[in-house]
Structure 1
Amino acid sequence: GKPVTPRPPGRATQPYGRGAALPIDHRPRLPQIGSVIDKYHIDELLGTGGFAAVYRATHLLLRIPVAIKLLKPEVMAKHPGQAERLCEEARFAAQINHPNVARVYDVTHSERITYIVMEYIDGVPLHEAFSAAQPLPPREVLRIGIDVAEGLSAAFVQGMIHRDIKPANILLTRKGLAKIVDLGLAQSSSADARRISASPAEVVGTPSYMAPEQALNPERVDFRSDIYSLGVTLYHAATGHLPFRGDDSIQTISMHLNQPVPSPRLHVKGFPAELERMLMCMLAKDISVRPASYAQLLEALRETDQVLALESGDGSRPTRGGLMERIRGLFSTLPRDQRPSPTSADLPPKERP
């Protein structure tokens, strides 16, 4: 590869973390493209958020691409606790070795710099893969749902729930794999970890994708809250629309708490009934109505995909398992205020406008 120049010659520097450098006449700041932090050459800024910036970098010894999530210096100065949270995110993710979860390779923490070194994923965020005018095909949505559920299941085996599943936190690789990223709001069942992380009673997450209990009673949050958020994500991808969009966060949360989920058929003509039933089960306001385990969720997603394959003439006849019948039963027995809003296509002929 091309030779790498760690820093411009002739400028006095002082250490920046482990082996990096900054001009001595500057306070800590985000690294420049082309600079070196420890053994990582900074190649490209991928994005910035309120607390951190993410870069594509090259490991100078292994010559492989990596992603670096670096806490902003001003955040470290004003909110020193965020450094420990970033390290905690790394510890959470490092326990998971699964193809549907982005791998964490390393973490560095000092008074001047804190960052995570992660797997670099050559792909796009899920939210860039669809639009209101062009939602994803139903079977593609199910494939993504299966991938994400597999990753969430692997995390749950380690005692973790994500608490912020949404399209921006799911990356689609060029090979068609969906990967979960950003465990910054993950919660562990470990008592020690709970003392460090955001309090279980603290409302965290993204309102548009947040389960009702996550906003109303955060202490009740468990893996089924992630199932709800995944349901919102799949609904969004399959229709191009969020089920609830208020004028502000408070109104959006109120809609999740109180309003029935609009039928996907309001947005997509001929939306598959089996997929609608699947989504409505995941989006049940009563946490006990949602799939009772990731094994059940995955079974239902796969059986739904088999049904759609059969209906499209693109698969063999599926073996209908008991869970699909359970979902149909739950769907029909949901309280009326929790059922999807009907469209004219759902009504008997004599009741249609």
Structure 2
Amino acid sequence: MIEILAAGGEVEASVREHAAGCAACKAVLDQIRADSDAVDVYIEALTPSKTMATRESRYKAPEAADVSPDLVPGYKVTGLLGQGGQGSVYKAVQLGTKRDVAIKLLRAGRFSTSRQRLRMEREAEIVAGLKHPNIVTIHESRYLDATRYAMVMEYIDGVPLDAWRPSGKTAKEKREKMLRVFAQVCAGVNHAHRNGVAHRDMKPSNVLVDKEGVPHILDFGIAKALGTDGPALTATGESAFTLHYASPEQVSIGDEQIDFRTDVYSLGVILYVLLCGKYPYPLEGSIFEAIKSIRDVEPTRPREVDRTIDVDLETIVLKALQKDRNRRYDSALELGRDIERYLRHEAIDARRDSVLYVLAMRLRKNWVPISVAAGVVVAGVTVWQTRADRRQALEQRAKEERTAQATGSVVRELLPSLGAAGERGEVIGRLRGMQMAADLGVLPDDAELQSAIMNVAGVFAQEMKSEWA
């Protein structure tokens, strides 16, 4: 309650009266208010019901800077890019090279605590060691005086990830382009992980997408180099992460137990928001109700929000959002690779434990290309054959293509049951039903369809000899 009161949130009158008359509570309030980071975080946490459109509107073009243009020696400040509890970010030009840069400047005076200064120094040190096309580059950092610290970064002319709109003629093309960008974000996070760094505050506003559609991860202000010892840079009871994208362990256990899978969960929330336009669970109400949702409420299945999201994509999202971190992807690399497999129409790791699913995906992906390739070979040979032979070869090729299409229909009929409980029995039942219908002449008089049923049944029977017998 004390943090909510400090942030200007609504509390019961009795709580407000107690705080006003309690010396201990007043001292805590004064300390929290002096640390503007905590205030900024809790104000954000108190308004979780903001819509995607509202958050987009918060991103504005650079405004006139409220500081001297020559505040940072060697640079000319040209505009204000954004402000936060810890400080401001300005657009500037490096005088020696004429290149555009972004300068993150810690607030001066009583707002600049020793912990904030140490946190910003550590951010500069961490990011300087990360060299990746999807992570913003740090050029230099320095103190301007005893309390003001500046960090000079690569300037990204872009928009936050949730404000970026991919191009494309169809919704499918736009979604696939968005997923490719998301996979690049995973690659950037994985690079940080490989260097022992957990970001711990992944959210759309910390990813800028430039005009070429390349994402850049920024703001490693609360990143942690795992496996290293160092001073705590958040005060007791202070939550420096953004609640909307926090993992269950971030709102439940000690900071020392956070690992890379926390970033995987946050990436899962980001992906859910990008696909569904809403959060995976209710975040309205008090901060305590929001924390309960994060810890205990299962995400609404994406397909319940948007039926155009297919089963594989939904499976990827839900695996990243597992409450038990041992059931999530072990790394951002694995999450990104599954997105790439999905885009290539390959079996995803999130469902790889299903033999039937993998077989079905291979049949669906490879049957048509194989048959068409065979047809091309046949067509090439017929150049040297008689016209009658060519006609026969073309008819054979057409038959193979019809068989491939029929096989695709059979596989699509089986796919809904794959990955479900008792899947082997259900698939065997479906296939036996198809075989019986073919034997009884119930199916259309379609030789290719009947052949496809027998071919698919043969593949599955070979894999499940004991169950099929």
TM-score, scaled to structure 1: 0.75
Q: 2:311 aligns with which of 243, 254, 273?
A: 273
Offset, 1:211: 0.6
Query: Whole-Å Cα distance in 2 between the matches of residues 166 and 237 of structure 1?
Result: 11
Asked whether the 8 Å contact 1:67–1:118 carries over to 2, the reply is: yes
Render the CA deviation track for 1:297-326: whole Å, top value 9, x for unaligned. 23211111222xxxxxxxxxx4x3655414
Q: 2:195 aligns with which of 158, 163, 175?
A: 158
Matched, 1:53 2:88: yes
Offset, 1:202: 6.3
Q: Which amino acid aligns with 2:341?
A: E
CA distance 1:135–1:44, change in 2 (3 Å)? farther
Q: 2:352 aligns with which of 325, 329, 337?
A: 325
Q: Which amino acid aligns with 2:325?
A: I
CA distance 1:114–1:135, change in 2 (3 Å)? farther
> 2:273 corresponds to which residue?
236
Asked whether the 8 Å contact 1:33–1:43 carries over to 2, the reply is: no
3-state SS, counterpart of residue 212 of structure 2: coil
Q: 1:89 aligns with which of 123, 133, 140?
A: 123
Larger displacement relative to structure 2 (60-69 or 200-209): 200-209
Asked whether the 8 Å contact 2:123–2:223 carries over to 1, the reply is: yes
Q: 2:79 aligns with which of 9, 30, 44?
A: 44
Query: Whole-Å Cα distance in 2 between the matches of residues 144 and 326 of structure 1?
Result: 27
Offset, 1:296: 2.2
> 1:69 corresponds to which residue?
104
Q: Which amino acid aligns with 1:215?
A: V
Q: CA RMSD for the aligned pairs?
A: 2.8
Matched, 1:125 2:160: yes
Q: 2:248 aligns with which of 207, 212, 220?
A: 212
> 1:174 corresponds to which residue?
211
Offset, 1:120: 0.3
Larger displacement relative to structure 2 (218-227 or 38-47): 218-227
Asked whether the 8 Å contact 1:106–1:117 carries over to 2, the reply is: yes
Asked whether the 8 Å contact 1:208–1:253 carries over to 2, the reply is: no
Matched, 1:254 2:289: no
Asked whether the 8 Å contact 1:136–1:239 carries over to 2, the reply is: no
Asked whether the 8 Å contact 1:76–1:83 carries over to 2, the reply is: no
Offset, 1:174: 0.7
Q: Which amino acid aligns with 2:352?
A: E
CA distance 1:42–1:65, change in 2 (3 Å)? same
Render the CA deviation track for 1:260-312: whole Å, top value 9, x for unaligned. 110123332322221111000000111011112333223211111222xxxxx
Query: Whole-Å Cα distance in 2 between the matches of residues 136 and 104 of structure 1?
Result: 34
Asked whether the 8 Å contact 2:130–2:191 carries over to 1, the reply is: yes
CA distance 1:136–1:32, change in 2 (3 Å)? farther
CA distance 1:82–1:297, change in 2 (3 Å)? same
Higher relative contact order (CA 8 A, sep 6+): 1
Matched, 1:284 2:319: no
Structure 1, unpaired ranges of 5+: 1-29, 308-317, 334-353
Structure with the higher helix share, 1 or 2: 2
Query: Whole-Å Cα distance in 2 between the matches of residues 59 and 288 of structure 1?
Result: 47
> 1:348 corresponds to which residue?
none
Segments ≥4 residues shifted beyond 6 Å: 199-202
Query: Whole-Å Cα distance in 2 between the matches of residues 207 and 136 of structure 1?
Result: 31
Aligned identity (percent) is: 29
Asked whether the 8 Å contact 2:89–2:104 carries over to 1, the reply is: yes
Asked whether the 8 Å contact 2:141–2:149 carries over to 1, the reply is: yes
Q: Which amino acid aligns with 2:288?
A: I
3-state SS, counterpart of residue 37 of structure 1: coil
Aligned residue pairs, count: 289
3-state SS, counterpart of residue 133 of structure 2: coil
Query: Whole-Å Cα distance in 2 between the matches of residues 271 and 184 of structure 1?
Result: 34
Matched, 1:306 2:340: no
Query: Whole-Å Cα distance in 2 between the matches of residues 189 and 197 of structure 1?
Result: 14
3-state SS, counterpart of residue 208 of structure 1: helix
3-state SS, counterpart of residue 69 of structure 1: strand
Offset, 1:76: 4.8
Asked whether the 8 Å contact 1:210–1:253 carries over to 2, the reply is: no
Matched, 1:184 2:218: no
CA distance 1:322–1:42, change in 2 (3 Å)? closer
> Who wins on radius of gyration, i.e. which is larger?
2
Offset, 1:80: 2.5
> 1:106 corresponds to which residue?
140
CA distance 1:59–1:285, change in 2 (3 Å)? same
3-state SS, counterpart of residue 209 of structure 2: strand
Q: Which amino acid aligns with 2:74?
A: K
Query: Whole-Å Cα distance in 1 between the matches of residues 227 and 257 of structure 2?
Result: 16
Offset, 1:112: 4.2
3-state SS, counterpart of residue 213 of structure 1: coil
Q: Which amino acid aligns with 1:64?
A: R
Q: Which amino acid aligns with 1:216?
A: S
Query: Whole-Å Cα distance in 2 between the matches of residues 305 and 189 of structure 1?
Result: 32
Query: Whole-Å Cα distance in 2 between the matches of residues 176 and 196 of structure 1?
Result: 37
Q: Which amino acid aligns with 1:246?
A: E
Structure with the higher strand share, 1 or 2: 1
Query: Whole-Å Cα distance in 2 between the matches of residues 186 and 231 of structure 1?
Result: 18
Query: Whole-Å Cα distance in 1 between the matches of residues 332 and 270 of structure 2?
Result: 16
> 2:448 corresponds to which residue?
none
